Chains A and B, each alone.
Chain A
Amino acid sequence: MLFQVIRKEIKVLFASYIGWGILAMFALVMGVLYTQSLSEYMQVMLGHVPTVEQIGLTKYIGANMFSAASLLMLMFIPLLSMRLLAEEQKNLTMAFMLSAPISLAEIVLGKFLSLLSFLMLMLAYLVLIICILNLWTDIDFGYIFANVLGLVLLIASFSAISLFISSLTRQPILAATLSFLVLILFLFVDQLFEQQTNTIWASLSMMQRYKSFAVGLLNTADIAFYVLVSGAFIFFTIRKLEHQRVYG
């Protein structure tokens, strides 16, 4: 049944303009950044622009594109997740799924995975245009793998948090705005408490965790952090819907 929920969500997403619109915007921004980074790299290689250190093509282009992708996700995920629960509750279409023999856990997991699948499409496009460079030069696949894994874990956490916020209100715009603010808080929480020596804020910051992936490092503590955050917020969302069934 999980697959059927994912299928339905993807179908509804592509039946509206929002799915296509977000894909087009992502492709456009990434395309512009890609060509720009490539031409900048050529300038560096030709010695027109002096550099402090020698840097590989994968790292040069990858660093720009992966960090831009993570920021784009920060905007896209609240927009996509607001539809998943807040809009369904506002339009009273949630009853369609609640009437079917599907458990609440399957509904929430299905919605989460459908969002993740859609975002994976964008990620696949990003990886494809970077890997295409392998036709002309050697690409550091290890670096790309670490970045992709980091980005997947980051967007999974973003999606789970946004999905939970989407379950809290029937107002899609409010859900998207709240999600955006909460995600920013999670990303940069360490910078808010920069003066304090307490490392707890740094360990909660998603950006700090993402930085190790961005330089090509795989740290199991960081992986566990993202998995735990995603799992916890999916669990909270299921509990919220159960609470609604009992008391709502």
Chain B
Amino acid sequence: MVNNITVEVKTVSRVYQARKVVNALSLKLEQGKTLGLLGANGAGKTTTMKMMAGHLMPTAGAIHICGIDITQNPTEAKALIGYLPEHRPLYKELTVDEYLEIAARFHKLSSHRIKQSIAYVKECCGLTDVGKRVIEQLSNGYQQRVGIAQAIIHAPMVVILDEPTVGLDPIQIRQVRSLMREIAQDASVIFSTHLLPEVEMICDDVHILDQGHTVYQADIRTLQHHMQTRSLVAAFKRPTNLQALYQLPNVLGMHHQNEHTVVIQYQHASPAEALVTMAVQQDWGLYLLNEQQSTLEDVFIQLAQPS
């Protein structure tokens, strides 16, 4: 391993039925860092991850896992990777213990280590009480944990998780996110999502894809800087004076969403308090005030605009 780089993707492209699904993608990930692959559906996230996991061959370019070329030496490289695809590859007729044992044996763990590793990942993923249960009988959240457990059973250097929180309820999402943070303490983690807040919570680095192209690549702080422009949605019962609203601090611009509702863009600190004071003084009948979260779409628009 050179310079602690665990994953190095060098101008990788993938053509599928004459269509470039991934186009000249490059990225690097250091040991112990978490990378969020962000993009709308069809952006090429899953294909990129499948190539990193060695399931698909790149049409052009190279992928190195801890210095090992995954195309040239797939078995050696795969030994260093833990992968959970979007659709969990679970044999639902087996019990959790049986399934994890097979996963451990596939990764060539010794009989002595198998027991230890199963106990460890079960504890990590909160599966200790369900080891003897058939996977089919487990809830969606538990099945996802089993999927993550099989990916980390051999203590891989790189863990690749494809949309690990999709289809889970809010409590399960929180549990999976905290599990990902724990995994990231020892391994490099790459995960895909189309949820911007998830990236803000977990990632060190961000890579945004759109139609197979890299549209943005930076660390999370730089992304947060790009996202500083936020919006307030305010609704009034009586007509308002837009010119007066421009007097509010940090306001960049505004537009009417409908007759009563105004969307106010601001930078840095929120002008919500000043807005409430003004609305009371002017008697506009303010009945709704909502902070709007930046969406992936907003970030795309932001990034497309020259600063």
The CA of A94 and the CA of B88, in the complex, are separated in Å by 10
| Neighbouring A residues of B150 by C-beta, 8 Å | 96
The distance from the CB of A241 to the nearest CB of chain B, in whole angstroms, is 11
Main secondary structure, interface of A, reads helix
* Cβ proximity bits B214-253 to A, threshold 8 Å, 1 near / 0 not: 0000000000000000000000000000000000000000
| Neighbouring A residues of B22 by C-beta, 8 Å | none
Residue positions of A touching B, CB distance < 8 A: 1, 4, 7-8, 11-12, 15-16, 92-103, 245-248
The CA of A60 and the CA of B214, in the complex, are separated in Å by 73
Instruction: Provide a sorted-by-A list of 25 A–B residue pairs whose CB atoms are within 8 angstroms.
Output: A1-B106, A4-B102, A4-B105, A7-B105, A8-B105, A11-B98, A12-B91, A12-B93, A15-B93, A15-B94, A92-B85, A92-B89, A93-B91, A95-B89, A96-B90, A98-B55, A99-B53, A99-B55, A99-B78, A99-B81, A100-B103, A100-B106, A101-B106, A101-B108, A246-B57
Across the interface, name the chain B residue whose C-beta is closest to A100: B106
The CA of A96 and the CA of B107, in the complex, are separated in Å by 11
B255, CB-defined interface residue at 8 Å: no
| Neighbouring B residues of A97 by C-beta, 8 Å | 106
| Neighbouring A residues of B90 by C-beta, 8 Å | 93, 96
The CA of A28 and the CA of B16, in the complex, are separated in Å by 50
8 Å CB interface, B183-228 against A: none
Contacts across chains A and B counted by CB atoms under 8 Å: 74
Instruction: Name the contact of A101 in the complex, choosing from B78, B87, B94 (C-beta under 8 A).
Output: B78
Chain B residue total in the interface (Cβ 8 A)? 30
Instruction: Name the contact of B76 in the complex, choosing from A1, A94, A101, A247 (C-beta under 8 A).
Output: A101
The CA of A245 and the CA of B78, in the complex, are separated in Å by 14
| Neighbouring B residues of A1 by C-beta, 8 Å | 106, 108
Instruction: Name the contact of B75 in the complex, choosing from A94, A102, A245 (C-beta under 8 A).
Output: A102
Given known contacts A12-B91, A246-B56, what 8 new A-B pairs fall within 8 Å (CB)? Answer: A1-B106, A7-B102, A11-B98, A12-B94, A92-B89, A96-B150, A101-B78, A101-B79
